């Protein structure tokens, strides 16, 4: 992908593409002028001997300590080194790439006082696909993502480790191999790199994109489950949803109608005596529609944050002022991540209930546990137990992170957002929910098999074929662990989202 940053904001679709693909970034003329003017303000302030936080002072509670001009470069290096204290598993390269692009976009707006040389340094890392090794833990989401961004900044100055082509090496060696030189930080530049919400935002964006995949697969699974139990599509009638007025609900109902349209199985029981289906079938538009509305809201918040300037202090070129504020506080990201957690948990919860319905012969009309010779065979008994365990785990993980705060920096930073954890934990929840939905897809496919030679809709039979390509019909007991893993991978990579794209925010809905 080639990305030109100048006056335009990053779109959600572009952010998704950056997450999915390597990217080369160029900086437009207008942005270069903004960057240069901003750096000049820093130079002028230092020439006049003014005291400016983070430029010629210490940091946090040490902000009252004046730093001599001879030590200003060392101050910025010390800041990066002292703050690079992250722990835990490394962030995946796609999330690191998103972080770097959003940092470039923020610096290019010309409020950070960084030189063009610094911005070009970040662009060079992306061009050569040099991705800093950034530990996933250690940020409280204010003052920005300090520890993880310090690891990113370290790569620019030849410190720490990076990944190139999936191989880990020292940043110094990677720069040399690429024909690059380590950057010498100018005043304010270390702080401009470390302050900001880019890591928590990247984590949340990646979770949003994955959630679109899982939500799409869950709607496909829900349509398959409805057909497998010979459920009614009447609850998806557009008139029902129009009079409630929620856009997501109406869109999900419309999608379910399209997915089930033309099903021979549905046509075979139009005049059956069953009056109503259980809520997990009947209320899919209401529940999944609410989840879709959350996804859309979160997409809006994160798109705004992705284009935000979130370091401190900020340089206002028109007046020459340098103002200290708190844009680094990631509360909007924390709230968005907590909101998305609710949707992820509910997608899995509803899917698990449909699995339980499918294996219950009294409610589904299908063989008990979806297998012939029950008793000799246990069928889908234990996959439902696994789904229940995962759904329960998600309920605990979904507890809001944003309601917690621990003061840091000797109470100078006395309220923090916990946005980085709020966003990072979404990926564990998504792993769980992808597995739950995978189990439902397998169970629903098994249920539909019992109705053959009657066919489901063309779309759902297409999904059936994709599932059967990795998981044959369950005729006698075998381990489904590998099947679940294979279908979960399909869920996570968007295999079942083709018909959902029109209603998903990162595809322009």
Query: pLDDT tens for residues 90-141?
Result: 999 999 999 999 999 999 999 999 999 999 999 999 999 999 999 999 999 9
- Give the chain's length: 509
Q: At 323, which helix (H) or strand (E)?
A: strand 321-323
pLDDT-derived band at 271 (thresholds 50, 70, 90) equals confident
Query: Is pLDDT at 272 greater than 80 in this prediction?
Result: no
Model pTM greater than 0.95? Answer: yes
| pLDDT tens-digit readout, 489-500 | 999 999 999 899
Q: How far apart are CA 373 and CA 368, in angstroms?
A: 9
Q: For residue 235, which phi and psi values (nearest 5 degrees)?
A: -60, -10
From residue 142, how far is each of 61, 102, 424 by CA, in Å? 14, 17, 15
Choice among 53, 111, 131, 474 that is catalytic: 53
Handedness of CA 43, 7, 312, 154 (dihedral sign): negative
Q: How far apart are CA 366 and CA 216, in angstroms?
A: 25
- Residues 398-425 have a mean pLDDT of 92
As beta bridge partners, residue 26 has 4
Q: How far apart are CA 444 and CA 261, in angstroms?
A: 17
Angle at 328 between CA 43 and CA 37, to 5 degrees: 25
Most confident stretch, 19-33, 41-55, 265-279:
19-33
Q: What pLDDT score does 390 carry?
A: 98
**Catalytic site residue 53?**
yes
Q: Compute the mean pLDDT over every residue in the chain, rounded to the nearest whole number.
A: 96
| HSE (side-chain half, CA atoms, 13 Å) at 259 | 28
Which of the pair, 56 or 287, is modelled with greater confidence?
A: 287
Helices (H), 400-480: 419-449, 458-468
Q: What pLDDT score does 49 carry?
A: 87
pLDDT-derived band at 467 (thresholds 50, 70, 90) equals very high
Q: What pLDDT score does 273 carry?
A: 67
| pLDDT tens-digit readout, 163-214 | 999 999 999 999 999 999 999 999 999 999 999 999 999 999 999 999 999 9
Q: For the range 471-478, what are the long-range contacts, defined as Cβ-Cβ under 8 Å and sequence gap of 24 or more?
A: 471/442, 471/445, 473/446, 473/449, 474/370, 474/371, 474/379, 474/380, 474/442, 474/446, 475/371, 475/372, 476/371, 476/373, 476/377, 477/371, 477/376, 477/377, 477/378, 477/379
pLDDT-derived band at 270 (thresholds 50, 70, 90) equals confident
pLDDT-derived band at 410 (thresholds 50, 70, 90) equals confident
Q: How far apart are CA 208 and CA 430, in angstroms?
A: 10
Query: Is pLDDT at 16 greater than 90 in this prediction?
Result: yes
Among left, alpha and beta (phi > 0; psi -120 to 50; other), residue 66 is: beta
């Amino acid at each position: 992908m080639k990305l030109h940053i100048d006056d335009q904001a990053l779109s959600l679709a572009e952010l998704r593409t950056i997450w999915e693909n390597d990217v080369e970034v160029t900086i437009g003329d207008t942005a270069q002028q903004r960057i240069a003017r901003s750096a000049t303000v820093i130079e002028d302030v230092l020439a006049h001997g003014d005291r400016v936080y983070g430029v010629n002072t210490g940091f946090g509670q040490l902000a009252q300590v004046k730093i001599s001009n001879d030590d200003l470069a060392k101050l910025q290096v010390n800041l990066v080194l002292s703050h690079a204290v992250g722990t835990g598993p490394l962030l995946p390269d796609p999330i690191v790439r998103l972080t770097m692009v959003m940092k470039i976009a923020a610096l290019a707006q010309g409020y950070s006082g960084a030189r063009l040389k610094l911005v070009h340094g970040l662009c060079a890392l992306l061009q050569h696909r040099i991705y800093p090794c950034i530990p996933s833990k250690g940020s409280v989401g204010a003052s920005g993502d300090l520890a993880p961004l310090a690891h990113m900044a370290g790569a620019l100055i030849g410190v720490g480790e990076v990944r190139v082509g999936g191989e880990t090496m020292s940043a110094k060696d990677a720069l040399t191999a690429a024909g690059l030189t380590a950057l010498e930080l100018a005043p304010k530049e270390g702080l401009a790199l470390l302050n900001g919400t880019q890591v928590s935002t990247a984590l949340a964006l990646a979770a949003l994109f994955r959630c679109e995949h899982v939500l799409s697969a869950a709607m496909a699974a829900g349509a398959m489950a409805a057909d497998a139990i010979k459920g009614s599509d009447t609850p998806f009638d557009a008139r029902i949803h129009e009079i409630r007025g929620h856009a997501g609900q109406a869109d999900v109902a419309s999608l379910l109608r399209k997915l089930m349209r033309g099903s021979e199985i549905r046509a075979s029981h139009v005049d059956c005596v069953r009056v109503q289906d259980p809520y997990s079938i009947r209320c899919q538009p209401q529940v999944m529609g609410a989840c879709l509305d959350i996804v859309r809201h979160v997409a809006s918040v994160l798109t705004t944050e992705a284009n935000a300037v979130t370091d401190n202090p900020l340089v206002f070129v028109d007046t020459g002022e340098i103002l200290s504020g708190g844009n680094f506080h990631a509360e909007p990201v924390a709230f968005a991540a907590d909101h998305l957690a609710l949707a992820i948990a509910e997608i899995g919860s509803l899917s698990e209930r449909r699995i339980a319905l499918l294996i219950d012969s009294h409610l589904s009309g299908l063989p008990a546990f979806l297998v012939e010779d029950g008793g000799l065979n246990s069928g889908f008994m234990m996959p439902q137990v696994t789904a229940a365990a995962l759904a329960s785990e998600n309920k605990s993980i979904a507890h809001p992170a944003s309601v917690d705060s621990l003061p840091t920096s000797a109470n100078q930073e006395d309220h923090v957002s916990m946005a980085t954890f709020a966003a990072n934990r979404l990926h564990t929840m998504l792993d769980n929910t992808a597995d739950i939905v995978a189990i439902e897809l397998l169970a629903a496919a098994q249920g539909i098999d019992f109705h053959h030679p009657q066919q489901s809709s063309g779309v759902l039979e297409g999904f059936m074929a994709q599932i059967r390509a990795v998981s044959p019909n369950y005729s006698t007991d075998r381990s489904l662990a590998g099947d679940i893993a294979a279908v979960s991978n399909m869920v996570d990579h968007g295999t079942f989202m083709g018909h959902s794209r029109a209603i998903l925010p990162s595809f322009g809905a």
